[in-house]
Chains A and B, each alone.
Chain A
């Protein structure tokens, strides 16, 4: 049982590296292989999540070397995100089958699956590691595979978007690495729990402050928060749609989880206080909520609109973190998971539309609601969720964050939460009009058929999850409650 933990992270990495060799001369095997591996990971993380729900967080010492010296893997309540990661990845893989056959050159298909598996392994590793340097390594695995996946479709713009992503990603990675170095110099340790203990006695303020600021800034770039978001829209709009789902639903969340991992390090530190940082985060989050929603309003391209909406939603999560009360943190935690579901629904549904019709702007897609009713339905459920209409999955996060804002005496932020939702609702109404009520701009639009079952299935399943995720909110809330308590109590 205890070995599930390392296996969950390393099996996909190894399997990913082996994929091209496996699939050599046997085209078509790559997808089955990736599916099998991901199914294994889903099973493993489900078992681990069950254990953490029953027993609380637990650790695994790699090679039986005890914590401060050896590498510690630690599965706590936030690590349960790995289950969501696996489930969404599984659906993305199912969806990818028909998609990549048309969208990618045949020679790249093996590489595509290989990169996706490495991406998966990196993400799982990132959320379960208890070691700072490991955190960095897993993050880089995710980042490098993501750069490649953005460019995998080929074409000049794809290369350019990937390059932009790479520059932003590399700068933030270097920043994070540098700050981990600083922490190591200060404490002589890389184990998170150990670093937290030793930081409490560090007297000198500037280096601790530097490490905190650098790590925060680095992870915020990864998360794509508003002022440092410039890499995100292009990378998310140009990559193949299944990759959008992965990067927008999952990869940007790693930045947030990174923040959740590093704040406890500094919580006990006497040298710095987290309060001003939280204040800044709340403001940045609020600005991002509004700015992202506002930019989304002006997009004609449906994928670009979804990319900006990601920025807005990351803003919600950061706002929740910044408010730092128990309710607001619960909201942020729930929204990390639910937004992953919603955004995956939206990108996969939009991808199916683009795949089938060849058009990607609202104007060109007019009338698609009649041609692809199921996909459109899923897309609209996703859109309703992103607006945050009860009882969909987008509602609980916003609800808790707004309550948290009131709890900490900041009604202004509660208003921001609602205004952001209202702006997105305008976009939703535009989509509704275009898809259902406007006359098609292209005659052939009515002849477009529904996507093949292996694309439609995941889309519909995710659409259903968007509603279920809202109705069953009490599960994730109960699951992350202890972690939230630790985080809120630790200040």
Chain B
């Protein structure tokens, strides 16, 4: 079974520390393996593989269902792209052995999260991910980086402890941790216990999903090298949090039980607040990477909001947005990193006229920005469309209004950058500055192309979107 892939990458990641090329090879192989399971997953097949019984009764087991496949596919696709980019970006920087080793480990733990069969396995890889990303966050080893690392650990480990508490509670209440289609908890457990479980799990995963007020670590962690930011913000860490939330909502509690309990109303409230507040804070940032970080905070809550609406259409939006946000945001980080490496500029006001000298790079950025604003034919529109439909399905029209406001805010913080970059004269740029190096540019363009693809081809079977639909069929049992 293809779970050799996670293990394989573990082994490879350890051995091939110093060979960036092998990192790339491993990532391609893994993508191929994940892709090979795709047709089965589309047809609704669920692969299950039990690794070992630990502790008795709750094995470490893997299962590839629609949702897991979707997440694995997104992360392994992005891994190939990011590896390419990282090789270009890290050229000439220190401790590359450690960097690429942990980089590979991070993505294999992410796949472990995606394919976890039960909550304990999920938790295991989730915690491993925390440990593996720490050396990446503090890669620069400056006091500032170490401080950011401490903050990162403090947030995520407290979250991890809460999750473990939730896991123990689920095991106690339900007697099993298997992620099942209809949820494992039953109303018979009693309201106080269910509330405690929900709070523990949601707050725990909410840390990495950066739901306000648990988002504090994310902007601080921006001191990391750009491929790490890309990895943290688009692929691994934050998506792991969101994915955990989806699992909790759909597979642990189940849509029916949550509909009965009405906790998700509150979650939706928090998510809505985060969407707006994250956008407002993003407006206030003058550092490009920080603006991206707050935008991430805001965008992640789309997924949370969509999931907490509990309707099938909103579920499609939630799952599809995992990919949409990932590709668009990683494009932006690639661009930010390329600009920083090429011109040394990190602030938005310094970007005047950059589009004239780096047209391809800024073209990619434009695609991503338009996607975030939600222009039709771009990936972000698909999410907003289905989220609005889902909200109407749930009878909550005010969320449609929220979508509109959020689009406006997104426009308010992306469009000025586009204006600066394209329509102003370049100022103070040294002569001879032009397009970023090919290793930085190519991955950027690939991911930008993917954003377009995700938007345009959402109706074509065989694309990620159809996988999202398969996933929804699985989680909602429709």
Contacts and interface: CB of A to CB of B under 8 A. Distances in A.
Contacts of A438: 141
Contact of B157 (A391, A406, A411, A425): A425
Contact of A418 (B55, B123, B128, B165): B165
Q: Which of B54, B127, B141, B196 has the most CB of A within 10 A?
A: B54
Contact of B171 (A403, A432, A439, A474): A403
Contacts of A470: 54
A384 B169 CA distance: 23
B283 interface: no
B56 A414 contact: no
B124 A390 contact: yes
How many chain B residues sit at the interface, stated as a range, is 20 to 34
Q: Which of B56, B164, B196 has the most CB of A within 10 A?
A: B164
A406 B55 contact: no
B55 A400 contact: yes
B138 interface: yes
A36 B141 CA distance: 48
Nearest to A470: B54
Interface string B129-172: 00100110010010000100110011001100100110011011
Interface in A382-426: 384, 389-391, 396, 399-400, 402-403, 406-407, 411, 414-415, 418-419, 421-422, 425-426
A433 B171 CA distance: 35
A390 B158 contact: no
Given A390-B120, A399-B168, A429 B150 contact: yes
A415 B52 contact: no
A260 interface: no
A297 interface: no
Describe B's contact surface by its main secondary structure.
Answer: helix
A470 B54 CA distance: 8
A422 B150 CA distance: 13
Nearest to A432: B134
Contact of B164 (A407, A418, A473): A418
A202 interface: no
A172 to B, nearest CB: 34
A403 B169 CA distance: 8
Contacts of B54: 390-391, 396, 470-474
Nearest to A473: B55
B60 interface: yes
Q: Which of A400, A425, A470 has the most CB of B within 10 A?
A: A425
B262 interface: no
A267 B123 CA distance: 39
A406 B172 contact: yes
A406 B124 contact: no
B56 A478 contact: yes
A448 interface: no
B52 A471 contact: yes
Contacts of B171: 403
Contact of A421 (B138, B154, B161, B169): B161
Contacts of A399: 55, 168
A438 to B, nearest CB: 8
Contact of B131 (A384, A407, A471): A384
Nearest to A476: B55
Interface string B346-377: 00000000000000000000000000000000
B124 A391 contact: yes
A298 interface: no
Contacts of A65: none
Contacts of B120: 390
A429 B134 CA distance: 9
A436 interface: yes
A391 B60 contact: yes
A422 B161 contact: yes
A155 to B, nearest CB: 36
Contacts of A407: 172
Contacts of B138: 433, 437
Q: Which of B54, B141, B168 has the most CB of A within 10 A?
A: B168
A477 interface: yes
A390 B59 CA distance: 12
A299 to B, nearest CB: 18
A429 B153 contact: yes
Contacts of B135: 436-437
A425 to B, nearest CB: 5
Interface string B29-65: 0000000000000000000000011111000100000
A220 B244 CA distance: 42
Contact of B158 (A422, A472, A473): A422
Contacts of B149: 433
Contacts of B172: 403, 406-407
Q: Which of A390, A438, A478 has the most CB of B within 10 A?
A: A390
Nearest to A419: B161
A289 to B, nearest CB: 14
Q: Which of A389, A400, A403, A436 has the most CB of B within 10 A?
A: A389
Nearest to A398: B164
Nearest to B141: A437
Given A433-B146, A437-B141, A477 B127 contact: no
A426 to B, nearest CB: 8
Given A436-B135, A473-B54, A422 B157 contact: yes
Interface string A417-460: 01101100110010011001111000000000000000000000
A478 B138 CA distance: 43
Interface string A458-470: 0000000000001
Contacts of B56: 473-474, 477-478
Given A403-B172, A406-B172, A437-B138, A477 B164 contact: no
Interface in B401-451: none
Nearest to A401: B168
A400 B164 CA distance: 12
A292 B153 CA distance: 21
Contacts of A384: 131
A414 B168 contact: yes
A399 B169 CA distance: 11
Nearest to B125: A390
A103 to B, nearest CB: 33
Interface string B92-128: 0000000000000000000000000000100110011
The 10 closest A-B pairs by CB, nearest first: A406-B172, A390-B124, A473-B55, A418-B161, A402-B168, A474-B56, A396-B55, A422-B161, A429-B153, A425-B157
13 contacts: A391-B54, A399-B55, A399-B168, A406-B172, A407-B172, A421-B161, A422-B158, A425-B153, A429-B134, A429-B153, A436-B135, A473-B55, A473-B56
Given A402-B168, A411-B196, A473-B55, 15 more contacts: A389-B128, A396-B54, A399-B168, A406-B168, A407-B172, A411-B169, A414-B168, A418-B165, A422-B161, A425-B153, A425-B157, A426-B154, A433-B146, A433-B149, A474-B54
